[in-house]
Structure 1
């Protein structure tokens, strides 16, 4: 029985908890809070900010929902921010179900619903823009939930999260929800530094156990020797030792069967038929994958295929196979859901949208999910999957940071993806993020991750990915033109620099500097020891060591000069060769005397083909020579000579030997060629050698002992200097970038140069307008706008042209610029290209990354769409997917809307912007399930 003191303490805690509203919130959930959720909610209740880092599906959003509950309970507003519009739409719908439509709003740039509500869901960019505009909507704001906050590592958009965290009022509680990251303490330490009291709550426990498998053929094999869940899986490299031995044996057999014939270790009797049989036994088609999962009770499933075409093809393959994983009742319910949307779409667009095959796949239980899919279709797929009607979704990795779509199992078709430049292996963090969707809380008792066996699968590598690894959160923050002007406008240039120094990027840089500075101190101690060991009684051995090092470097430089001259002379001699020339090849290959039988037209790297005296055909290049070749004779090479037949080679080799017998002896090098360094280099070497011999330490009997310590001293001094340089480069890096950005803004007269009289800097009228333009090409957009080239455009011309300042083609094209729709668009396009050229030059001079060039790939489609053409006509002749077109159209709307709201802008341009928004926002571009 508890003591009276213990009972009193417990009663007091219950009373305090009641005051926070936590018992009421807990009762509304219908399930018990996990320990990390309980701890985080208590921290929110006591007024602290929190960082919650936990695996996907662990229930982090409950903490954000408690913050909303607290806001309503205390009469304050709550904002819920997400990285993407789809997630904002989904969260809006969830909160409307809980609190009612009158209390919840949605702001996503292209959509505004009840924007002054008590609870507003929004993309993070919308909140950033509010902060810079000092919007009245921020009044009474008490809580901001930042879902998927680890998105701040995103190369293109991550800086927005840091801007919001830095600029929110101190009295606003920030609830940051993150996937499990390995440096949560570091990130939490930064939050505590810039936001005040912030609790860091980390959980690596998955409420739904996750088991790992490999599918070989149609069989599901456990990845680990024992059936281990995510929480039980060993950390790498220990995980390697626990790999299922059956998989290890299979890998060895596959490796042996893939060896070329004749290699040692090949199985007796394993001919080509045996090799093919081994491969076929491990392969499995996509319909077979689904049947195997269904048989194992692992549907619904997400199958990650890192290709849009691959996802679409997978659905088509399943349909063609006749496979269906839905009941008649489920198919009927799916059909009804589709029909609710279909009648709202233009009938003429259904075919170009791929509606009918999409519909058939859904009714059979299959769907694709990727960025090229029409947003309406994605919303339906998400809804039907969550309802348990669609059983298999083939998705790209974009789903990993997207909407809430958990499944019973997650399948990884391959463990590599195309990153835009090359195929790369996925990281452990990406694997954890993707497979983390397996296991639906409240529905499944366990989740399952499945990797498909490939011929090059390494079970140990898969085990390493599947072990409990996390990934570090690294800032992508850097000042942009828009950000720099907004900060300068609000705080002045010097204070703006100081604010930027509080970014997570600088926080991380400063932390790394601490470790580097410690290394410098350690090396300085070693340098002092080396200096003591090389002390010489005859003089300053440090100076003598410096002279030796300088001499060594000078001799190396001279040797490089000689090597460069040899290569240059060799290349020049190869370029002058003619068919039939007889030469002698010394150098690395030592081919001896040869006759040139074929020339190479590559002037920068000539590689003629020769026939040697022993009848071998070879190609020679500069790297095969130690100097220029000299022609020692000339013979006739038959016109039709190919070198394919032994008789041809034998006859020509005989002619070669005869010609050599009659000619003078070959010389080794070209006449008069001087293989020495430059006169300046030779003079410097002579000078250093003289100074070295004249130095007092040169005569020391212990000179070489001292010299060994001197060499160590010189190497360490060089390395230490590099480290000091790195420290200098990381100190105040963000403010240095800000200064570079300010320089470019000054060059284009957006910012008045700072001076003794106006050290805060002054923003020009053009700069004030640029403050309202957000996007990757913000300054370029403003530069074009300031020329007036857009002022007299019609709505459709403006929509088409603005797309050039938004669009990025998926594949780089270097063809000629297309003919533009009208003369006004042509003029604006040429203006934008010229201004971009000036801007990129200024950026290069300032040491800044280059702004993306304008892209004409969407001008015609967007122009046609704004004129009223149907989707088929707009997409004709392009490789744009319908979903991509809609996504880019919404970004065009966003920029047009930004321009229309700039104060004191040309009235004609404002009217055209508003009309263009209306003309672009129609049909499939305007539709969303959120408003229904």
Structure 2
């Protein structure tokens, strides 16, 4: 395959074929910036009339957003009629580019895929230069929905009779991914509804405890869970039909009876029974790690080929098919997620534990899995379940040796046992799906009662009354910091730094200003508390270097935006989002005027100091 087309040549070709204005989608911010740099030495410039039109349009935007008056890309945009648009830019600059595009001033915009959704930004042509994008430091194939969102930008209503989606050659493009994206159906919408501590407090403030289960049952999340449960109930009906030939016999539960008898007669005399020491979470998950089950691992995903217990310690083990065809034997504890996706797996007694045809099919299915899969809700028992295979020492305790049904039981046991295990798994899955939201709600109640935000009767305590106003991420950590008076005496700059470190969720490396002694000391206390709360709430990153950026902006009112940007390698769009999100967190503290006036006052002063310059231009 030939190398990627040079940006200058690409735009020239689009202009020649009358395919402008165009949006050129690239893999990263850096690729967009490098594409713009490629025009620094280009000889093709716009006619003076078009340059004047761009200058006039920019003047109108600058009057509303003065922060972009000295933007370094203005001369290039005005000279060649091409711009870049990505998350590293200020919102005001992106608004300016969008306005220039709407007015027909630009021939092309180099953008990341974040432009594909959520912005009214059409063009005559879209150019797709990649089949994967960077997500959380890894490159992942574009989903069907993402490909269709990108292609959907082609064609301007009222201006174009047809839109064009152009795929450029590249050594890093997979045409199968794009073909599937253009022709396939978008991935199903998956509810992102989560039950947070503030939600629990506010629901209990507004409704009696006994009414909330009915409220949760009306949510879209529960609707989706019910749909998945209905599918399993259909499979359960089929299993009941398959179990009918193995109907009632002499024993009420002949399958369990035969299982115990068979183990007893095989048991070696005086064999030491090894106690199992595994967490309730692993025990609950292990029940569902059957052949064909899709599971999440520390790195990537896989499909279970076999589940068993090790010979020595009786530890739960799984054999997993991973991407690339690798088959690994690992403790069941490596499984981080159990997905609600099960493929047909034709088992066999030896490696790789399934037939060659089934192996090839599972490997293909693994590569075709969508980016997002629904998790299988698994209810974890608070009490240890009894091990069902306890061995009875005396064979005389069993009626099996003289029972008339013994030949039939011995013949049918393997098939009937497998069918019943499938029944039990489906029953447990259905129960988990039907009760998942309510179970998570109850878990949150238990935590809030433990920390004193709720009474034993699930009524809000005095602390619960003000804690319900903190409706942001890491709310439990923030409310516990307030109760511990960690912010007592903290000036606005230090408070801002701590809130910024809690709000920030990106671990991208870079160079940052030095953190002050006071902020460093307070962050140490915050880390200790966050670690102690980790069983109840995922801790934030709490990066001191990020906190120093926000602290410096508040502590030095004379510092300009350009000066702040020069003190760090963060892109100015990232700095803007950091401060904007920090403002959101501080505004939550500002609502506590009635119960914590000192903290609310400090938050109010911090908000006033943050909202200057660039941060005054947008709401």
TM-score normalised by the chain length of structure 1: 0.50
1:739-774, CA deviations, whole angstroms, 9 ceiling, x for partnerless residues? 1111221222111122xxxxxx22122222222222
- Kept in 2: contact 1:536–1:697 (CA 8 A): no
SS of 1:471's partner is coil
Q: CA deviation at 1:918?
A: 1.5
Root mean square deviation of aligned Cα = 3.6
> Match of 2:462?
765
- Candidates 354, 363, 380, aligned match of 2:96: 380
1:329 and 2:49 matched? yes
1:319 and 2:16 matched? no
Taking the aligned partners of 1:695 and 1:370, their CA distance within structure 2 comes to 73
1:832 and 2:526 matched? yes
Taking the aligned partners of 1:454 and 1:767, their CA distance within structure 2 comes to 57
Q: CA deviation at 1:344?
A: 8.3
1:89-138, CA deviations, whole angstroms, 9 ceiling, x for partnerless residues? xxxxxxxxxxxxxxxxxxxxxxxxxxxxxxxxxxxxxxxxxxxxxxxxxx
Taking the aligned partners of 1:818 and 1:784, their CA distance within structure 2 comes to 25
Aligned pairs (5 A) from 1:470-485: 470-485=186-201
Taking the aligned partners of 2:539 and 2:448, their CA distance within structure 1 comes to 13
> Match of 1:902?
592
Taking the aligned partners of 2:530 and 2:390, their CA distance within structure 1 comes to 47
Taking the aligned partners of 1:562 and 1:545, their CA distance within structure 2 comes to 19
> Match of 1:64?
none
SS of 1:434's partner is helix
1:548 and 2:245 matched? no
User: RCO greater where, 1 or 2, for CA within 8 Å and sep 6 or more?
Assistant: 2
Aligned pairs (5 A) from 1:617-636: none
In structure 2, relative to structure 1, the CA distance for the partners of 1:709 and 1:449 (3 Å cut) is same
> Match of 1:303?
24
In structure 2, relative to structure 1, the CA distance for the partners of 1:799 and 1:835 (3 Å cut) is same
In structure 2, relative to structure 1, the CA distance for the partners of 1:865 and 1:550 (3 Å cut) is farther
> Match of 1:787?
484
> Match of 2:287?
none
> Match of 1:364?
80
Taking the aligned partners of 2:523 and 2:173, their CA distance within structure 1 comes to 50
> Match of 1:289?
10
Q: CA deviation at 1:371?
A: 1.4
- Candidates 510, 513, 520, aligned match of 2:229: 513
Contiguous gaps of at least 5 residues in structure 2: 275-307, 315-388
- Kept in 2: contact 1:540–1:697 (CA 8 A): no
> Match of 1:742?
445
Taking the aligned partners of 1:562 and 1:504, their CA distance within structure 2 comes to 45
Q: CA deviation at 1:403?
A: 1.9
Taking the aligned partners of 1:361 and 1:909, their CA distance within structure 2 comes to 46
Aligned pairs (5 A) from 1:84-99: none
- Kept in 2: contact 1:498–1:735 (CA 8 A): no
> Match of 2:372?
none
1:926 and 2:616 matched? yes
- Kept in 2: contact 1:286–1:317 (CA 8 A): yes
- Kept in 2: contact 1:311–1:396 (CA 8 A): yes
- Kept in 2: contact 1:836–1:854 (CA 8 A): no
Q: CA deviation at 1:329?
A: 1.7
1:496 and 2:217 matched? no
Q: CA deviation at 1:731?
A: 1.5
Taking the aligned partners of 1:312 and 1:356, their CA distance within structure 2 comes to 12
Taking the aligned partners of 1:382 and 1:551, their CA distance within structure 2 comes to 78
1:821 and 2:496 matched? no
Aligned pairs (5 A) from 1:15-54: none
Contiguous gaps of at least 5 residues in structure 1: 1-278, 566-682, 755-760, 844-848
- Candidates 406, 413, 420, aligned match of 2:136: 420
SS of 1:521's partner is helix
> Match of 1:709?
412
Taking the aligned partners of 2:411 and 2:78, their CA distance within structure 1 comes to 76
- Kept in 1: contact 2:26–2:110 (CA 8 A): yes
1:152-178, CA deviations, whole angstroms, 9 ceiling, x for partnerless residues? xxxxxxxxxxxxxxxxxxxxxxxxxxx
1:849-899, CA deviations, whole angstroms, 9 ceiling, x for partnerless residues? 624343333221111111222334434553311111111111222222222
SS of 2:38's partner is helix
Count of matched residue positions in the alignment of Structure 1 and Structure 2: 506
Taking the aligned partners of 1:744 and 1:899, their CA distance within structure 2 comes to 22
Structure whose CA Rg is larger: 1
Greater CA drift, 890-899 or 355-364:
355-364
Taking the aligned partners of 2:401 and 2:456, their CA distance within structure 1 comes to 56
- Candidates 890, 900, 904, aligned match of 2:580: 890
Aligned pairs (5 A) from 1:59-138: none
> Match of 2:290?
none
SS of 1:899's partner is helix
